[in-house]
Structure 1
Amino acid sequence: MKRREFLCLLSGSAVAGPLAARAEQSHLPIVGVLVVGAPGSEKFWRLFQEALRERGYVEGKTVKFEFRSDQGQIGRLPELAAELVRLDPDVIVTWFTPAATAAARATSKIPIVMAVAGDPVATGLVKSLSRPGGNITGMSGVDANLSGKTVQFIRDLLPSAHRVAVLANAPDPFSQPFLQRIRQAGAAAELEIDEKPIHDTAELDAAFVAIGRERPDAMIVQPSLPTKRAAQLALDYRIPAACTLHAFVDEGGLMSYWFAEVDLYQRAAAIVDKVLKGAMPADIPIEQPTKFELSINLKTAKALGVVVPQSLLALADQVIE
């Protein structure tokens, strides 16, 4: 081969390489991700990407991610969902019920996989867990009754408690099933449940001012609220607080009872894998978590003057000292 021909061929290959790479990237499956901007969303995103990576989905090589967070402003979810739909992704993954609801309202065609949701049947997202129908499937904690079990853990932690305040995120469609389970558990544990609906996250500080005057024995925070701020306010007002979100104890909350996140998101990633390989969401049963974790922050307990019983510590999967 002549040198000039060789150089032309080499030059053509150099040009063709990037062009081929760009062409290949343009055909990568697109995974849209829509999350409620609670603190645990960062951990979800990290663990979920790791779970997909284990299945061969690597950002920029075998998949393209489009991540959207409401940044703590739940009212932004509809516009963010519409933005994702305009990108025409192969699947939309949601984290928490408000995100799933926003995505469901934005599209009835693009597959939606719930990485975690409360009760998709009660909130009208699917027809049933075994046969969801439509374009939605994924993971649900409907049978886990985390909020109800949290009430029982509060009773175990504070045997003399009489009244528990509950901060509920009113715009979250799951707030009513969330409260219903707490009411039922409260009645069984002989605890008075004082419901405090929050209609806007800007109301959180004012809600704590009122709760601080009322002096409940304990508090439960719905996880789709700004839990980091709630944990700090609970400590400021010296109220033992619990939440069904693991990140809550890392933020200074006293106690959390939540799904084992690595297992949960690995299973969600497996469902996404099925959808990307052609399975229809309507035919994929919604799965239930089977592993759970109780976490207790002893540093917070000490600051509040709460003595955690050894029987409860023995049940804890994580203890922060």
Structure 2
Amino acid sequence: MNKRRFLLITTCGGLMAAARVVSAQPGGGAPRRVGVFSPGGPGADDAILQPYFDEMRRLGWLDGRNVVYDRVFANDHMELAPGLAAELVSRKPDLIVAISPPGSSAVKRATSTIPTVFAVVVDPLAAGLVGNLAHPGGNVTGVTQSIAESLMPKRIELVREVVPGVKQIGLLGNPLDPGSIADQAALAPLLANLGLRMVVANGTNPQEFDASVASLVDQHVQAIVVANGIAVTRRAEMIAQTNRARIPVFGFNLPMAAAGALLSFGPSMTDQLHRAAHLADKILRGTRPGDIPVEAASVLELVVNQKSARLLGIQIPQSVLVRADRVIE
């Protein structure tokens, strides 16, 4: 599978683009303060969100010089989101970047005036973040990772290709996450038609998530598909549990595959965070967020971890390898 992106690079065009970036460097004055709501903890989220900070730097926003980041971390305890959002708003930043649906919704409720950019959100309309994708109005815009329909059926196709004869599939879900609910709804009839059994284990915080992984291991599922965002920051712990039981994990983004999931397939987080940085840049330069259309993820990534395949004793079919955007050896 190739990424759905086409780049045209010419020497002249590249030089002109570089000149535009230099000429549009943010001016003097006090550094702009940008609040960042992170769903996970400082260690895990620093690595995941780095593409956002890297792109901001490329756009001319230098941490400590013309921009200062003010961060709060939910450590995967989304019941803390309202309080953290209120705390962030009380510091009166020039802009807030909110990652995840709960964090974005909490910030939306906490302020109707501070410009806000959301990212890694499945359905901003259902979440009440904006009333219109093309013309958001208000103080909020952002990047949605929705690809119009659940990608879970595609992930199940990959499971069946890689684990022939699979009969029992575990699903890590989160009943508080609209995207997880949509994935479960898409998966149930599909597995029933295929004669496969779905074992659901839900978790709404890190402790419940770890217990849900252990539950699937105890029930001897033959593969696990992930539909819970907590897996992103608990990925190392999840993979440690499943590897001991020799159960392959099928995730939804590169960080999970890099941590040891056998495969991942889903919208590119790097692409989403780069887009969020460009929206933040526009707002910091004077564009009203309500005038900036919500952008949709357009880059899908299939990542294969061959190291995990060898550990699990699984032979990845050539038909999957040739479609992969990245293979981790």
TM bucket normalised to smaller:
0.7 to 0.9
Deviates more, 1:308-317 or 1:102-111: 102-111
Q: How many percent identity over aligned positions? A: 32
Work out the CA distance in 2 between the residues paired with 1:63 and 1:189: 53
Work out the CA distance in 2 between the residues paired with 1:231 and 1:81: 31
Correspondence for 2:300:
292
Match of 1:104 among 99, 102, 108: 108
Are 2:121 and 2:145, in contact at CA under 8 Å, matched by a contact in 1?
yes
Verify: 1:134 aligned to 2:157, yes or no: no
Residue-by-residue CA offset, 1:243-268 (whole Å, 9 max, x unaligned)? 11211122121111233344332221
Work out the CA distance in 2 between the residues paired with 1:246 and 1:40: 13
Structure with higher Rg: it is 1
Structure 1: 5+ residue runs without aligned partners?
Answer: 1-23
* Cα 1:72–1:204 shift into 2, 3 Å: same
Residue-by-residue CA offset, 1:19-43 (whole Å, 9 max, x unaligned)? xxxxx76x32211111111776223
Work out the CA distance in 1 between the residues paired with 2:189 and 2:284: 40
Work out the CA distance in 2 between the residues paired with 1:303 and 1:154: 17
* Cα 1:36–1:182 shift into 2, 3 Å: farther
Match of 1:29 among 3, 25, 32: 32
Q: Which runs of 4+ in 1 moved over 6 A?
A: none
Are 2:130 and 2:137, in contact at CA under 8 Å, matched by a contact in 1?
yes
Shift of 1:224: 2.8
Deviates more, 1:208-217 or 1:103-112: 208-217
Correspondence for 2:119:
115
* Cα 1:90–1:202 shift into 2, 3 Å: same
Work out the CA distance in 2 between the residues paired with 1:195 and 1:56: 46
**Which amino acid in 2 is paired with 1:97?**
P
1:67 partner SS? strand
Match of 1:46 among 50, 55, 59: 50
Shift of 1:316: 1.2
Are 1:137 and 1:284, in contact at CA under 8 Å, matched by a contact in 2?
yes
Correspondence for 1:64:
68
Work out the CA distance in 1 between the residues paired with 2:48 and 2:215: 33
CA RMSD of aligned residues (A): 2.3
Work out the CA distance in 1 between the residues paired with 2:237 and 2:99: 20
Correspondence for 2:240:
232
Structure 2: 5+ residue runs without aligned partners?
Answer: 1-27
Are 1:30 and 1:66, in contact at CA under 8 Å, matched by a contact in 2?
yes
Work out the CA distance in 1 between the residues paired with 2:269 and 2:213: 29
1:78 partner SS? helix
Matches within 5 A, 1:231-250: 231-250=239-258
Verify: 1:313 aligned to 2:321, yes or no: yes
* Cα 1:310–1:272 shift into 2, 3 Å: same
Are 1:132 and 1:282, in contact at CA under 8 Å, matched by a contact in 2?
yes
**Which amino acid in 2 is paired with 1:245?**
N
Verify: 1:279 aligned to 2:282, yes or no: no
**Which amino acid in 2 is paired with 1:311?**
S
Are 1:212 and 1:237, in contact at CA under 8 Å, matched by a contact in 2?
yes
Are 2:173 and 2:201, in contact at CA under 8 Å, matched by a contact in 1?
yes
Shift of 1:299: 1.9
TM-score, normalised relative to structure 1:
0.83
